[in-house]
Amino acid sequence: MEVLKTILMIAFIIICLAIIVIILMQEGKSAGLGSLSGQTSETYWSKNKGHSKEGMLVKITSVLVLLFFVLAAVLNIGSF
């Protein structure tokens, strides 16, 4: 049982570090001063962001955060 807990803890630490790195790789979401007046810049790049590197980073972040919460819950249940 201790071996499984150690393996899960190592996986948890690796996921934590991966989340930090991937979040730091993402671009900022601010639209500048144009967002204050409701102006948006609808460009080809902003419409197809899901198929770009930025979109891939967002999807990977979502999966890693889900794994983070699941592992945190499993490790917490195992501590009782």
DSSP characters over 34-78:
GGTTT-----HHHHTGGGSHHHHHHHHHHHHHHHHHHHHHHHHHH
User: How far is 15 from 62, CA to CA, in rounded Å?
Assistant: 12
Q: Quick one: tokens of 70?
A: 């699941």
User: How far is 17 from 79, CA to CA, in rounded Å?
Assistant: 22
Give the predicted TM-score (pTM) of the model.
Answer: 0.71
pLDDT tops 60 at residue 31: no
Most confident among 36-40, 42-46, 50-54, 68-72 (mean pLDDT): 68-72
Q: Quick one: tokens of 79?
A: 């501590």
